[in-house]
Amino acid sequence: MITQVTESLYNQLTRAYEEDCAVQAPHPLGELRKLAFERFKQTGFPTVKWEDWKYTNTQPLLNQPYTLAGADQPLHADLALAAIPGLDAYRIVLVDGVFSEALSDSVPVAGLTVLPMEKAADELAFTKHFAEYADKTDNPFVALNTALFKSGVFISLAPNAVLDKPVHIIHVAAAETPLFTQVRNLYVVGRHGEMEIIESLVTEDGAAQYLNNHVSEIVVHEGGKLQHYALQVAGESGNYLNHTEVYQEKHSLYNNYNCSFPGASFVRNNINVRLDASEVESHLYGIALTAGNQFVDNHTIVDHLKPHCESYEWYKNITQDTSTAVFNGKIFVREDAQKTNAFQQNNNMLIGEQSAVYTKPQLEIFADDVKCSHGCTIGQFDPEALFYLRARGISEAQARVLLVHAFAFDVTSRFANDMVRKYVEHLVEEGL
């Protein structure tokens, strides 16, 4: 049954899908796409009646007119927007969701494969993992993405390879006409491989309003380690739906650092981590500093499927002006997942008197021998602390910076990459 679909965009997407099928038959992913599009058609776009979209109304966004494909690739993009001082990294650039080989570094590193998603279909890791994880969720934007994506990044790290430098993926939005893009990524870390991926989302000056539907599937094989940073520094014309689905094998480690700063009007992040073997460790850290009329929603699922795993999640929201932040953190501890150690904490600081925070920590435990905790706080500036700092000669503005800095410290101090930590601390200061 189709509920409340936005007719025009919905029809437009259907037409685009049908044209795609007609032109490219047989598409290598034909069957997958077909099933995905059928799934999307069954539900349509989510509405606020859906529990997971209760605070996140996508209708106003979907009612805008969009084109579905960008103009020709520009040959340059303002990559300075994403520069992280002091960071030495392999740079991959996507412009309007399309992998730009011209702007990306070639990565001549043994064991590392980086490809545009549209050229990855023959890779073993692709056939094995593509659409195996994200598509099992009920997020209609994932189904839509699977059916319609054009480009994205495919990264595969060979077993035992340890990358010397991080991979910095820069997603630039530049189109001067409103664009609805479907970007699809797949990152696979081989057995005992180690790497670091930093993603920056930026907007060029003059870009029209756009909606970006990102889906990333991530697989960390046995003993692998992945540090994954997402830095949301896009501009006001930016609207994002990001779905990150992580699948972890035995002894693997996955750390996600998810930061949003003033800019992008609408951000919805879904981050799901499935700990599907024993001795798996996952960390999810998040900071959202919002301003203006921004809306930033972080929905996470940590799914403990097997025994002896550990997860640790800490999200901090700082809301200014009339902005809104949402945190929904769900931890499942399945029947098999004995001796699980799961921690979750969400702290919120409302600075803007008109700002809002919706937070929902959830814990569902089906095993009987586990250690789990979750907690949540909402507060404001501590006037006592503010006065204490001012009484020592520190200006009110600087005192606020110090206090927000201190509030974010629990999260920023966990950043494994010093350059990224400093960059994020700087953005926190700038964003106040």
Partner 1 sequence: MLTINNLHAAVESQEILKGLNLEVKAGEVHAIMGPNGSGKSTLGNVLAGRESYEVTAGEVLLDGKDLLELSPEDRAREGVFLAFQYPVEIPGVSNINFLKTALSEIRAYKGLPPLEARDFLKMVKEKQQLVEFDAKLANRSLNEGFSGGEKKRNEIFQLAMLEPKLAILDETDSGLDIDALRIVASGVNHLRSKDNAFIVITHYQRLLEYIVPDFVHVLYKGRIVRSGTKELALELEEKGYDWIKETVGAENAV
Site residues (vs partner 1, CB under 8 A): 382, 384-385, 387-396, 398, 402-403, 405-410
* Strand, coil or helix: 23: helix
Q: How far is the CB of 388 from partner 1 (least distance, A)?
A: 4
User: Looking at beta carbons only, is 7 or 384 nearer to partner 1?
Assistant: 384
Nearest to 318 by CA among 377, 234, 361, 270: 377
Tokens 């020592």 correspond to 392
Q: How far is the CB of 377 from partner 1 (least distance, A)?
A: 13
Looking at the Cβ atoms of 101 and 382, the one nearer to partner 1 is 382
Nearer to partner 1, 213 or 347 (CB): 347
Helix, strand or coil, per DSSP, at residue 206: coil
**Starting at the edge strand that comes first in sequence, how are the strands of the sheet with 210-220 ordered?**
112-116, 153-157, 179-189, 210-220, 238-248, 266-275, 295-304, 324-333, 356-365
CB of residue 431 vs partner 1: minimum separation in angstroms?
17
Closest approach of Cβ 361 to partner 1, in Å?
21
Amino acid at 377: T
Residues 6+ apart with CB under 8 A from 44: 2, 3, 4, 5, 10, 140
Nearer to partner 1, 366 or 388 (CB): 388
Bridge partners, residue 376, by sequence: 346
Closest distance between partner 1 and the C-beta of residue 213, in Å?
36
Q: Which is nearer to partner 1, 360 or 405 (CB)?
A: 405
d(CA 121, CA 393): 62
Task: Closer to partner 1 by CB, 281 or 410: give it.
Answer: 410
Of residues 63 and 395, the one with the C-beta less far from partner 1: 395
**Tokens read off for 158:** 């060979």
| CA proximity to 271, closest of 376, 137, 154, 153 | 137
- DSSP letter string over 112-172? EEEEEGGG-TTSHHHHHHTTSSGGGS--HHHHHHHHH--B-EEEEE-TT-B-SS-EEEEEE
CA distances from 432 to 46, 82, 300, 410, 422 (A): 33, 19, 26, 18, 16
Shortest Å distance, C-beta 426 to partner 1: 15
Nearer to partner 1, 118 or 410 (CB): 410
For partner 1, the closer of residues 274 and 316 by Cβ is 316
Tell me if the bond preceding 26 is cis, omega within 30° of 0: yes
Nearer to partner 1, 365 or 402 (CB): 402
Q: How many CA atoms lie within 13 A of 294 on its CB side?
A: 31
Residues 420, 425, 430, 432, CA torsion sign:
positive
Question: Residue 156 forms beta bridges with which residues?
Answer: 113, 188
Q: Please state the closest distance from residue 415 (CB atom) to partner 1, in A.
A: 14
Paired tokens of 393: 């000669």
- Compare residues 71 and 406 and give the one whose CB is closer to partner 1: 406
Question: Rounded to the nearest whole angstrom, what is the least distance from the CB of residue 404 to partner 1 in the complex?
Answer: 9
According to DSSP, the β-strands at 210-220 and 238-248 are parallel
Say if CB 55 and CB 326 are below 8 A apart. Answer: yes
Cβ at position 372, least distance to partner 1 in Å = 24
**Closest approach of partner 1 to the CB of residue 113, in Å:** 41
Beta carbon of residue 209, minimum distance to partner 1 (angstroms, whole number) = 37
